[in-house]
A and B are shown apart, each in its own frame.
Chain A
Amino acid sequence: MAIDIPTLMNSLFPAGTLLLALLLIFAAILHINNLNRVHKLMAVLQHKKEVSKAIFYREMTISQGSNFTALALAAWIMLSVAIAYLYLLVPSILPFSYMDIAELASSTLGFAIFGILVACLAGAIILFLDKLPQDHRDLKLMELYSFYSISKTMKKMISMTVIALCISVLLSAYIGTIYPIHSQPAELLSLMLLVVSAGVLVMPIYKEAWEARI
C-alpha cells in the first residue's frame, strides 16, 4: 500500500499534539501515584498505620541545588511559552489565535508582550501552587524534582531543555511572521522540540514509576 506523504505529514502535527498532552497528563497522574505508593510503603516500613504527610514529605525531600531548580523552573515556564507560541500564535489548530489581535500582532513589541504575558501567567500559576498547604506538596511544581533522585546527566538534560524550548519558541515565532503562509517543517520541528523537552522534563517521574514496577 502506497503511503500518502502529504496526509502523513498532516496527521503528524495532531498526533504530536496528542502525544504531548498524554505525556503531561500521565506524568501528573504517575507523580501523584508515585508519592502515594511511597507514602504507603513508609507506613509499612515504620510499622505504623499511617505516616503524616508532613513527615512523609520532609523525609522524601532531596535538595537538588538552587541553580538546577531555577533552570527547571525556567524550563517549565519556557514550556508554557513554547506551547502558547505554537498553538496560540497562529490559528493552526484552534480557531482563535494571537493573530486575531492584529494590532498587537503587528506592533513593534507584540511578540515580546505576548510571550511575557504567557510567562507571567505560567509563573503566577506556579507561585499559586507553591502557596498550597504543606500536605499538598505533591502539587507544587517548584518542588517536583525534590521527591526524585536525579542524576547529574538527567539534570544536565533537564537544563538543556531550556535551549531546546528557546529554539521551539523561535521556530513558532518564525511561523507567526510568515502567517498566513504555513511552514509545515517548522511547525513539526517546533512540536518535536516541545515533545522531546516535555519528555525530558517529566522523565524522572516515568523513571521512578518504571523502577517501582520492576
Chain B
Amino acid sequence: MLRLAAAILALLLVAGLSQAGEVLGGGDSSGGGDSGTPSVSPGGGGGGSRQIDIDRLIKAVKDGEKKKPAKFEELRTLLWKDPITSEEYEWPTVLMYYKGNNTTVSRNQPLEIITVATNNNPLEMRRMLDLYLEVKEPGSSKYDRINTWPEKIQTNEYDEKTNTTYRIWGMLPSFSYLKNIGEVRIRANVSDGVNKWSTASYPKPNPPFYSELVFNVTNSLPKMSGFNVTPSGLVRYNDPIEYKANIEDADGDLLNVTLHILDENGVERKNETQNMLPGAVSFKANEYGFFKEADGGKNFTYYYSYDDGIKFISKDSADLLKGPNIRKGPKLSVDKLRFSSSSENYYWWEKYGFNLRVKNLNPEEYEVSFTLSTKTDNNKWNTVETKTVKIGPDPVEVNFNDTKPFQVTDAGQTFYYRVKYSEYDQSGKDAMEQTGTRINAKIVPYSIYNPVMVMNLVPMLFLILLGSFFAERKLKKGIESHESASGKAGNRKNNKQESRGKSGGSFAGKVLKMLRRG
C-alpha cells in the first residue's frame, strides 16, 4: 500500500511539473494509453491535453537525477518508504576487496579500493545500503570519513545469480595526499536504514576479501645530479648565467628545490626556491638578479636543498659547488653609430664604411671586441668584420672601412647594420643597431661599354657565328648533302677532304680555312 501511495504521489508530482512545462507529455485526455501502459491525465484540462506514460516518467526522473540532483533528492525523500522489517531479513555481507598482493605501496602508486556487498534477501525485502569509506592515516588514532555523501547501493542492482554488487572508490586513487608515511587502514561503514555496521566487524574473511585493507605506504627520496653552471670560466655579471641540474623522484612528487648562492666567505648571498615536478632544474641568474656589477672579480659557490613534502634534504652536494667566477670589465659608453658609402647611389657592389664612438666609463683600459653585422629586410644578420680595440676613458672611434657587406640579392632592399661588443654599454646592452638606407635596385654592376661587358658580348656573338659555320661544315647542308640527296656526289667531296687533310696547320689556320670554304 505504501509503495502504491508513493507511486501515485510521484506521478502527481511529475504531472504537476509537466504542467509547468518541464516534463514531456502529450496525447488525449482519456486517461488511457493505446499500449495499455498506465497513464495519468492532467485532470481539469485547460491549456490542452497531455499524457504521461510510465516510460516517459522514468526518463524524466532519470534526466532529473543528472540535471537537477537537488530536486531529485527531494523527490526521493518524498518517495521514501520505511524498510520492511521481518525476522527473515538477513544482514547483507559487505567486505573490502583488494586484488593485489603487495600491500607496500608508494604514495603515488595508483590504487583500486573496492567494497563488495552480498545481499541474499529476496528483492522485496532488500533495503538500500549507504556506504561510507573510512581511512586511518599513519600516526592517527581515528578513522576519517572520505565521502561526505553516502555511496548508495540500490536494491535492484545486485547480480541475479550471485546476489553481489560492488563499488570502486574513485575518490581514493592513491595516497599522494598523505603528509606522513606508514600504516594506512581502510574500511567501510554500512547502513541499511535500520542497522549500522562496519566491514571491520567481520571476523576474518578469506582474501581477496578483507574486513579492513591495511597498506604500508612508503616514500622515495628525491635525488639530484648533473650540477652545472653555464657559461663556464670567467663571465660577466650580466651574462646569461644559468644553474643547471637534474632532480629525480620515483614517486613523481611535487618538489621544492632551493638554490643557495654563497659568496667568497661562504656566507649565503641569496636563495631562490622553485616548485616543480622531477626533471631539469634551471635557475637563470638574470631572472633572479643574483649578481650585480660590484660582484666583478668575485668567485661564488652554491648548493641545493630540496624536499618532496615529506622528506627534506638540506644540502646537496655535500661539498660546495663552484661557480660562477665573475670577471671585472669595462662599462662602455657607445654612441654615434654611422655608415658611409663610396657614392650616393648606394649600389650593392659599392664599398661601405661604418664607425662608432666608444669610451670606458671606468678609469681602466680594456680590450673590447666589436663585430659589425648587416642585414636586409627580413634576412638574417650577416657578420662583416670583427675588430678588437683598447677602450679607455678617452673616446675612441671604431672604424670598419671599405667593407663590401652586400650581395646582389640585397639590391632594392633597405639595409640595417649592427655593431655587437664583448662588453655592455651604458644601456646594459651589448649591441647597437641602426637602419641604413635603401640599396639601389640596380643588379648589373657593369655599364654596356665596360670591358667586362665587351668581353661578355663580343666573344659570345663570335662563338655563335663560329659555331654555326662549324655545324654547317660538319653537316654539309650547303652543298654536299644536297648533292648527295640528288645523287650528285662525286669526286669533288673526296678532293675537298684531301685538300682539307693537307691544310693541317694551327687551330687559327683551320678556322680560317673553315670560314673560307664556300
Contact = CB atoms under 8 A, between A and B. Distances in A.
Interface of A: 57-59, 61-71, 73-74, 77-78, 81, 99, 102-103, 105-106, 108-112, 115-116, 119, 123, 126-127, 130, 134, 142-143, 146, 162, 166, 169-170, 173-174, 176-181
Interface in B444-462: 444-448, 452-453, 455-457, 459-461
Given A77-B464, A177-B447, A102 B478 contact: no
A37 to B, nearest CB: 21
B407, B442, B473, B478, most chain A CB atoms within 10 A: B478
B459 A112 contact: yes
B404 to A, nearest CB: 13
B478 A111 contact: no
Contact of A102 (B443, B452, B465, B477): B443
Interface residues of B, number: 45
6 contacts: A65-B479, A74-B469, A106-B348, A116-B463, A177-B453, A181-B442
Contacts of A65: 478-479, 518
B102 interface: no
Given A111-B460, A143-B477, A169-B461, A106 B469 contact: no
A142 B478 CA distance: 9
Given A63-B478, A116-B460, A177 B517 contact: no
A61 B468 contact: no
B482 A146 contact: yes
B408 interface: yes
Nearest to A163: B461
Contact of A115 (B447, B452, B460): B460
A99, A126, A177, most chain B CB atoms within 10 A: A177
A166 to B, nearest CB: 5
B448 A170 contact: yes
Given A57-B485, A103-B407, A177-B446, 11 more contacts: A59-B486, A66-B477, A73-B477, A102-B443, A109-B456, A115-B461, A143-B477, A166-B461, A169-B461, A174-B448, A180-B412
A66 B478 contact: yes
A105 B408 contact: yes
Contact of A67 (B452, B456, B517): B517
B452 A142 contact: no
Contact of A99 (B443, B447, B456, B517): B443
Nearest to B466: A74
Contacts of A57: 485
Contacts of A81: 460, 464
A63 B409 contact: no
Contacts of A112: 455-457, 459-460
Contacts of B485: 57-58, 61, 134
Interface in B413-465: 441-448, 452-453, 455-457, 459-461, 463-465
A68 B478 contact: yes
B408 A77 contact: no
Given A102-B411, A169-B457, A179-B443, A73 B472 contact: yes
B471 interface: yes
B468 A66 contact: no
B349 interface: yes
B476 interface: yes
A70, A119, A134, A170, most chain B CB atoms within 10 A: A70
B483 interface: yes
A12 B469 CA distance: 35
Given A74-B465, A119-B463, A179-B444, A103 B475 contact: no
Contacts of B461: 78, 115, 166, 169
A119 B464 contact: yes
A44 to B, nearest CB: 22
Interface string B475-518: 11111001101110000000000000000000000000001011
A63, A81, A142, most chain B CB atoms within 10 A: A63
B444, B467, B473, B485, most chain A CB atoms within 10 A: B444
Contacts of B447: 177
A173 B467 contact: no
Nearest to A109: B456
B440 to A, nearest CB: 9
B444 A63 contact: no
B412, B483, B486, most chain A CB atoms within 10 A: B486
Given A77-B464, A77-B468, A111 B453 contact: yes
A162 B447 CA distance: 24
Given A74-B464, A119-B464, A170-B448, A64 B478 contact: yes
A177 B468 contact: no
A81 to B, nearest CB: 7
A54 to B, nearest CB: 9
